[in-house]
């Protein structure tokens, strides 16, 4: 596959852009593969990429019932950070953040990574203590964060109102090397690289069953027939429980819709990400000028991807208190994404009771920031049977009571 470059752009401009290749192939499925990944979102494609790059496993199929990146990867609000409290969480999120920094070069695809910084506002004394504790933990983990004063928050975000009518800003946890990336581009970049390695990305193909023999996986039933494999990775976010049921085991997760919306585009006014967890909202500004706004998850289990009026009211009211200027903006669009939530708000990257079946799920509302780290660790788990990045995130922790509690560091479960 030809490399993208400034010279390639100039060459194609001279011939009316007639020479561009397809970014990835759309092949017919083969009868069998060394490994199958179900789910062509960011996590699934990253897993396939690192299987090939790190372990030389390229006879891989990535099966997607819809279109590539059409699930949560294309519906999130693109925040990247690694300021988590627990050591295991900080390790995998920091691995992801560091891989984001070089991703455009590694994939030869501009993922528009923007290390603009992330502030998590402290608006109660409890949050102040919690974020100071997290800053100390991050220092021990080698993750660079700092707790900053309200005056420093105002310097970084001039449009903020420090004296909110309900909750004043008492400080913030600042990670200067956090930021955002273009969600679609992350999926497209990984897909292009996987296809270039000879992997098959099979879209519009639904997995309808998992075939087993003597307690081990032998393949999957799909809407296009049976496809054999001895290694199966399930990476389907909010539909993880459905696929696990097909394989014959249950997961300690629940699926809910997470709400987000964007405003009409305006001139640049905010060059970092701000998360206001007490009033339940967060915001950044996209390259197009839209204010990207997120709130909480619906309070009931569902698989709908529609917006919710309750969260428009709650989230926008909260953010107007913190950023009064946005009261004059019009909403451009709203949507929901189906997220899979565990009890401790930490993911599951694990072997399963079925030999050869591996599960990557439970990222809740923080999946996008973890994509490269998740793919790196999960690929190692599938290839070798063990990965230090994923060791603490096994299914057995729920049976053993060995929780990785990130309900505070995850903020609004983000």
Give me the tens of pLDDT residue by residue for the chain, a chain 414 residues long.
889 999 999 999 999 999 899 999 999 999 999 999 999 999 999 999 999 999 999 999 999 999 999 999 999 999 999 999 999 999 999 999 999 999 999 999 999 999 999 999 999 999 999 999 999 999 999 999 999 999 999 999 999 999 987 889 999 999 999 999 999 999 999 999 999 999 999 999 999 999 999 999 999 999 999 999 999 999 999 999 999 999 999 999 999 988 899 999 999 999 999 999 888 889 999 999 999 998 888 888 888 888 777 777 888 888 898 999 999 999 999 998 899 999 998 999 999 999 999 999 999 988 999 999 999 999 999 999 999 999 999 999 999 999 998 875 554 444
* Residue (of 123, 120, 119, 118) closest to 169 by Cα position: 123
Instruction: Report residue 370: phi and psi, to 5°.
Output: -95, -5
What SS3 state is found at 179?
strand
pLDDT at 413: 42
**Between the CA of residue 264 and those of 8, 187, 288, 308, what are the distances in Å?**
34, 25, 9, 19
Q: DSSP H helical segments within 274-402, as ranges?
A: 309-322, 367-384, 396-400
Q: Are 56 and 197 in contact (CB under 8 A)?
A: no
Element of type H or E holding 131: helix 125-141
pLDDT at 210: 97
pTM: 0.95
pLDDT at 414: 42
**Between the CA of residue 319 and those of 36, 171, 316, 322, 375, what are the distances in Å?**
43, 17, 5, 5, 34
Q: Give the Cα separation of 96 and 103 in Å (integer).
A: 10
pLDDT at 304: 84
How far is CA 205 from its chain centroid? Answer: 23
CATH topology of domain 113-179+254-342: D-Amino Acid Oxidase; Chain A, domain 2 (3.30.9)
* 104: Cβ contacts below 8 Å, ≥ 6 apart: 110, 111, 112, 113, 189
Q: Are 149 and 128 in contact (CB under 8 A)?
A: no
Instruction: Report residue 147: phi and psi, to 5°.
Output: -90, 125
pLDDT at 409: 57
In DSSP terms, 360 is beta-bridged to 349
**Between the CA of residue 299 and those of 282, 367, 414, what are the distances in Å?**
18, 19, 15
Element of type H or E holding 121: strand 118-122
What SS3 state is found at 305?
coil
Element of type H or E holding 20: none
């Amino acid at each position: 596959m030809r490399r993208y470059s400034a010279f390639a752009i100039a060459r194609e401009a001279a011939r009316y852009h007639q020479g561009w290749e397809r970014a990835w192939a759309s092949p017919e499925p083969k009868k069998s593969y060394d490994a199958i990944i179900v789910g062509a979102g960011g996590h699934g494609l990253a897993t396939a990429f690192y299987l090939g790059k790190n372990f030389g496993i390229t006879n891989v199929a990535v099966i997607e019932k819809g279109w590539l990146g059409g699930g949560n990867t294309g519906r999130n609000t693109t925040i990247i950070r690694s300021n988590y409290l627990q050591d295991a969480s900080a390790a995998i999120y920091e691995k992801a953040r560091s891989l984001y920094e070089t991703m455009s070069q590694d994939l030869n695809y501009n993922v528009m990574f923007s290390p603009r910084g992330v502030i998590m506002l402290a608006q109660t004394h409890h949050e102040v203590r919690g974020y100071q504790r997290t800053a100390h933990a991050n220092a021990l983990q080698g993750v660079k964060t700092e707790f900053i004063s309200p005056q420093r928050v105002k310097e970084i975000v001039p449009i903020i109102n420090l004296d909110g009518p309900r909750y004043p800003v008492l400080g913030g946890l600042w990670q200067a090397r956090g930021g955002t990336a273009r969600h679609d581009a992350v999926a497209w970049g990984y897909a292009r690289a996987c296809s270039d390695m000879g992997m098959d990305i099979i879209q519009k193909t639904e997995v309808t069953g998992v075939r087993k023999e003597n307690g081990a996986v032998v393949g999957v039933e799909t809407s296009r027939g049976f496809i054999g494999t001895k290694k199966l990775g399930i990476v389907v976010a909010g539909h993880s429980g459905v696929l696990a049921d097909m394989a014959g085991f249950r997961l300690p997760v629940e699926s809910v819709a997470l709400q987000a919306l964007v405003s009409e585009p305006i001139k640049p006014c905010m060059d970092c990400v701000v998360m206001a967890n007490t009033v339940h909202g967060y915001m950044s500004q996209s390259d197009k000028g839209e204010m990207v706004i997120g709130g909480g998850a619906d309070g009931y289990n569902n698989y709908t991807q529609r917006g919710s009026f309750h969260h428009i009211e709650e989230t926008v009211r909260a953010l107007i208190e913190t950023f009064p200027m946005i009261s004059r903006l019009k909403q451009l669009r709203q949507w929901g994404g189906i997220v899979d939530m565990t009890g401790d708000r930490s993911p599951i990257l694990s072997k399963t009771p079925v030999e050869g079946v591996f599960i990557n799920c439970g990222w809740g509302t923080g999946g996008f920031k973890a994509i490269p780290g998740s793919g790196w660790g999960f690929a190692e788990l599938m290839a070798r049977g063990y990965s230090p990045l994923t060791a603490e995130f096994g299914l057995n922790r729920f049976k053993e009571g060995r929780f990785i509690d990130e309900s505070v560091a995850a903020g609004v479960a983000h």
